C-alpha cells in the first residue's frame, strides 16, 4: 500500500463514489495512529486483488467530516474493511483472517481472478 495522502473527502463524496463506481470496491477504513490498522493494511497489500476491482483506503481522525463518514458507514471499530458490489455493501470485517472470504465475495460480484 502506498503511503500517499489523498485529499479529504466528505460522506457525500464517498457515498457518490461508492454508488457510481462500475466495478467491485474494497474499502479499508483506518484510524490515525492505529497499530491494528497498520496490520490490516499489510494484510491487504499481501493479497492479489481480483482484476477489475478497486481498493480505496480512508484514514479517519477526529474532524467533522471524519464523523460523517464513520456514521455513513456505520463503523463500530478500526480497522474495518468493507466490500461493495455495484454500490451495495456485500460484506465487512475487522479481522485480517476474514479478508480472503471478503475477496471471494467480490470475485463472485464481477472481479476476475488476479
Tens-place pLDDT, residues 92-114: 999 999 999 999 888 888 655 44
Structural domain includes residue 41: yes
pLDDT for 81 equals: 96
Instruction: Answer for the pair 106, 83: CB distance below 8 angstroms, yes or no.
Output: yes
Structural domain includes residue 3: no
Question: What is this structure's pTM?
Answer: 0.85
Domain with 58 in it: what CATH number?
Answer: 3.40.30.10
Number of domains in the chain: 1
Q: How many other β-carbons are positioned within 10 Å of the β-carbon of residue 26?
A: 23
Structural domain includes residue 1: no
Structural domain includes residue 114: no
pLDDT at residue 73 tops 90: yes
Burial class from Cβ neighbours inside 10 Å (0-12, 13-18, 19+) for residue 33 reads exposed
Structural domain includes residue 112: no
d(C-alpha 104, C-alpha 32), whole Å:
28
Query: What residue numbers bound the domain in which 61 lies?
Result: 11-107
Amino acid at each position: 500500500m502506498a503511503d500517499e495522502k489523498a485529499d479529504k473527502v466528505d460522506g457525500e463524496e464517498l457515498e457518490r463514489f461508492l454508488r457510481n463506481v462500475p466495478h467491485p470496491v474494497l474499502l479499508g477504513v483506518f484510524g490515525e495512529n492505529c497499530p491494528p490498522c497498520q496490520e490490516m493494511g499489510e494484510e491487504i497489500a499481501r493479497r492479489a486483488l481480483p482484476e477489475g476491482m478497486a481498493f480505496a483506503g480512508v484514514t479517519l481522525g477526529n474532524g467533522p467530516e471524519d464523523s460523517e463518514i464513520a456514521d455513513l458507514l456505520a463503523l463500530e471499530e478500526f480497522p474495518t474493511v468493507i466490500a461493495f458490489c455495484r454500490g451495495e455493501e456485500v460484506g465487512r470485517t475487522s479481522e485480517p483472517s476474514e479478508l480472503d472470504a471478503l475477496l471471494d465475495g467480490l470475485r463472485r460480484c464481477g472481479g476476475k481472478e488476479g
